[in-house]
Amino acid sequence: MAKNNILVVDDEPEIREALVIYLKSDDVDVFTASNGLEALEILEKETIHLILMDIMMPQLDGIKTTFKIRESKNIPIIMLSAKSEDGDKILGLNVGADDYITKPFNPLELVARVRSQLRRFTNLGSFQSNGEEIIQVRGLMLNKSMKTVEVDGEDVRLTPKEYKILELLLENKGRVFSIEEIYELVWNEPIFAASENTVAVHVRNIREKIEINPKDPKYLKVVWGIGYKVEKR
């Protein structure tokens, strides 16, 4: 059985030890780090499938560490913090976290959220960054480091969700994504009935911004009955 590797990053030894006990199983190995610098070192040496990341840590905190990880990796990150203010949650999600749990947490809920993120990551594909900072298809160019999009040299202003959808499709050119896959990967939550229209509206908005003729798109294509894709060339 292939094992999933989880990295626990927290400066409190008791928290790290407790999380190892909760998470370690026949199909899960747990690595630990006491700060962001140690976490980055482990990521250089080991294949990690999910990270539990404390926010308040010495040397390199969880926000800065997550931001650094997101420069090259798309593995699930769940933030842990003793703070419950919305500002901390929003900040963590904005820099690339996939979920957020406030301490003290219910162990069963934490394990359930970890399993959910691992399942989504495994079933829908890791979609790891290919290492390219700039992805281009003909006149369409997305700069990952700058979070910008251009069409034929002209800047295109996308909302954060529109950008994430386009980035997902560009990084996986030629692959057809269902509406459910797009929603779960971009919104990081299970799809519900009204969500299908939400994805369609976002795709329509993207087309209005990047296509010369949105009714005859050359970049963002619909595959009827299946989903959406960006052509490879």
User: Could you give the CA distance from residue 67 to residue 11 in angstroms, rounded to a whole number?
Assistant: 18
The total of structural domains in the chain comes to 2
Please indicate, yes or no, whether the overall pTM of this predicted structure exceeds 0.75: no
User: In terms of DSSP H, where are the helices of the chain?
Assistant: 13-23, 36-45, 62-69, 86-94, 107-123, 160-171, 179-187, 195-210
- The CATH number of residue 18's host domain is 3.40.50.2300
User: Could you give the CA distance from residue 85 to residue 56 in angstroms, rounded to a whole number?
Assistant: 14
The whole-number pLDDT of residue 128 equals 46
The whole-number pLDDT of residue 72 equals 80
- The CATH number of residue 175's host domain is 1.10.10.10
User: Could you give the CA distance from residue 131 to residue 167 in angstroms, rounded to a whole number?
Assistant: 13
pLDDT digit string, tens, across residues 60-73: 999 999 989 988 88
Considering the domain architecture, whether residues 16 and 117 belong to the same structural domain is answered as: yes
Considering the domain architecture, whether residues 102 and 151 belong to the same structural domain is answered as: no
Does residue 52 have a pLDDT over 80?
yes
Structural domain includes residue 214: yes
Does residue 222 have a pLDDT over 50?
yes
Q: Give the HSE-up count for residue 145: Cα atoms under 13 Å, Cβ half-sphere.
A: 4
Considering the domain architecture, whether residues 94 and 139 belong to the same structural domain is answered as: no
User: Could you give the CA distance from residue 80 to residue 30 in angstroms, rounded to a whole number?
Assistant: 16
Does residue 156 have a pLDDT over 90?
yes
Residue 74: pLDDT band with limits 50, 70, 90: confident
User: Could you give the CA distance from residue 181 to residue 125 in angstroms, rounded to a whole number?
Assistant: 10
* Domain final position from 67, 98, 123: 123
Structural domain includes residue 128: no
The whole-number pLDDT of residue 184 equals 85
Range of the domain at 215: 134-230
Instruction: In the chain, count H helices and then E strands.
Output: 8, 11
Residue 124: pLDDT band with limits 50, 70, 90: low
User: Could you give the CA distance from residue 207 to residue 228 in angstroms, rounded to a whole number?
Assistant: 12
| Total Cβ atoms within 10 A of residue 229 | 18
Considering the domain architecture, whether residues 59 and 82 belong to the same structural domain is answered as: yes
Query: Tokens 């919104």 identify what position?
Result: 187
Considering the domain architecture, whether residues 199 and 110 belong to the same structural domain is answered as: no
* Domain final position from 123, 146, 177: 123
Considering the domain architecture, whether residues 116 and 163 belong to the same structural domain is answered as: no
